Amino acid sequence: MAATHFIHDVEAVLPLSTITVVLGGLLLLFFAVTARKPKQKAKVSQLPPPPGIPGLPLLGNLLNLKEKKPHRTFTKWAEIYGPIYTVKLGATSMVVLNNTEVAKEAMITRYSSISTRKLSTALSILTGNKCMVATSDYNDFHKMVKRHIITSLLGSNAQKQHRGQRDAMMDNLCKQFHAGAKARPLEAANYRAIFDLELFALAIRQAVGDDVDSLYVEELGTTLSKEEMYKTMVTDLMEASIEVDWRDFFPYMSWVPNKSIEENMKRLVSRRIAVVKAMIRHQKKRFSEGKELNCFLDYLLSNAKELSEDEMATLVWEPIIETSDTTAVTTEWAMYELAKNPSHQDRLFKDIQRVCGDRKVSEDDLPQLPCLSAVFHESLRRYSPVPVIPPRYVHEDTEIGGYHISAGTQIAINLHACNMDEKKWEKPEEWNPERFLDGKFDLADRYITMAFGAGKRVCAGSLQAMLLSTSAIGRFVQEFEWRLIDSEETDADIGVLTNRKLRPLQVIAVPRVA
């Protein structure tokens, strides 16, 4: 849910037809507000502020970001103004970091100064006002809920306990591709339709204990299919997270009514909460009968009694939606590139044969498969699932990259620019896993692409995402030869939700002869 503040057309943010009406009022109100503020002695810094991107009065750089892919615009500006600069977004400003050095400095060295979040209106509503690990401030609540999710679900010990569920998912995926190849030889399959629903089923099992093909939701008065649950709990909310309330850019205009966005967000959240609570009620009955399962919900019911019902519903939902993000995006791009580049696919297949022989590749084999690890990391680099890390809020004066950053500033980290930096990556536009096999990069370095963040806020689900993605890629290449249909050869456009492929991958999976 990164980079969500900028990716709609500016008309959706501030309709051009209303600009002439509100400009005068905005100016008067702005000067009135600033005039009422008592003058304070400014804290003098010997360091200069970051350079600013030239923009329009009042609107700043908003019109420059209407292309819906702000990370690309940020990257172009970095080539002109350097790796760190300030953009003006209406009455707010943001410092954008565009290379690995300043990004690591912000996330690790200067972390104590920028550990809070400033959410958009949409994200604030969708996350229950920071009731998620990923969006909460670094405080006692964040530490408590992160400890719970690491202990029960995403930590290394928990991942060992959930190994059987991941193995079952891999078997189910391969069975479906084998069945499709047998029923419709040489006919393209919709890769995403198969992979995403199976991943969603795994997320549900890990979150509440049992996968369900359908669920009756009393509050909605209807029974939802798995596809409808996926839409309600994942895709609708991912799409809603990029909705922009123009008041986010003009805080002093918060008194102006804008009910449509809030009502839409609340409706979607209400549907999501109804579905999650229906799942929880179904599982609580089992739990009360003493039938405990190894799942996040059962752990919370036993160990997190301090949580309210709404907080528990949000926390149970969080791993479901987040499991459906990085893993799905990275794996689909990896399979697209492997199908597009037979030589890389053949090298990976031979490497798997060398290690596994006739038996199926498993998680135990991953440390002995450098080609597989290289494919995973190169896909993360070239198609960073979260191209811009959600903004953090500077709550005290600090410095980054030799510049003074004032308290009250927002910090955005442009991972796309970091991973497309020609000073670090040779021919960065090319997808080339070989770059990770020449000894220049350490595959064990968790910050190699920073796809999962860095420092104390590193993504809690990074281990699971790596295990799921690499295991799936390995099994797919071991059991099938992957080929693109003609129309897929140049279909590498990305959507507006993270860096997901714009159109689902259509691919032919030909079973390999044993």
Write the pLDDT tens digit of every residue in 141-173: 889 999 999 999 999 999 999 999 999 999 999
pLDDT at 198: 96
Residue 15 lies in a domain: no
Q: Is the pLDDT of residue 37 over 50?
A: no
250-259, 276-285, 370-379, 390-399: segment of lowest average pLDDT: 250-259
148-162, 217-231, 242-256: segment of lowest average pLDDT: 242-256
**Which residue is it, tokens 């970095």?**
78
Q: Under a CB-based contact definition with an 8 Å cutoff, are residues 231 and 214 in contact?
A: no
For the residues 283-309, what does the mean pLDDT come to? 87
Query: Pick the residue with more confidence: 422 or 25?
Result: 422
Range of the domain at 191: 44-511
Element (H, E) at 222: strand 222-225
> Which tens digits make up the pLDDT trace of 85-116?
999 999 999 999 999 999 999 999 998 899 88
Let me know how long the chain is: 514
Residue 491 lies in a domain: yes
pLDDT at 33: 37
Q: Is the pLDDT of residue 508 over 90?
A: yes
pLDDT at 27: 36
Q: Is the pLDDT of residue 485 over 60?
A: yes
Which range of 63-77, 313-327, 473-487 scores highest in mean pLDDT? It is 473-487
Other C-beta atoms lying within 10 Å of the C-beta of residue 309: 10
Amino acid making up residue 414: N
- What's the predicted TM-score (pTM) here? 0.87
> Which tens digits make up the pLDDT trace of 423-454?
999 999 999 999 999 888 887 777 889 999 98
Residue 29 lies in a domain: no
Residue 144 lies in a domain: yes
- Count of domains in the chain? 1
Q: Is the pLDDT of residue 193 over 80?
A: yes
Residue 27 lies in a domain: no
Alpha helices in 190-323 (DSSP H): 191-208, 226-230, 236-240, 259-288, 296-303, 309-323
Residue 7 lies in a domain: no
Distance from chain centroid for Cα 414? 13
Has 371 been labeled as part of a binding site?
A: no
Residue 34 lies in a domain: no
Residue 12 lies in a domain: no
Q: Nearest CA to 161 among 463, 470, 476?
A: 463
Q: What is the CATH number of the domain that holds 260?
A: 1.10.630.10
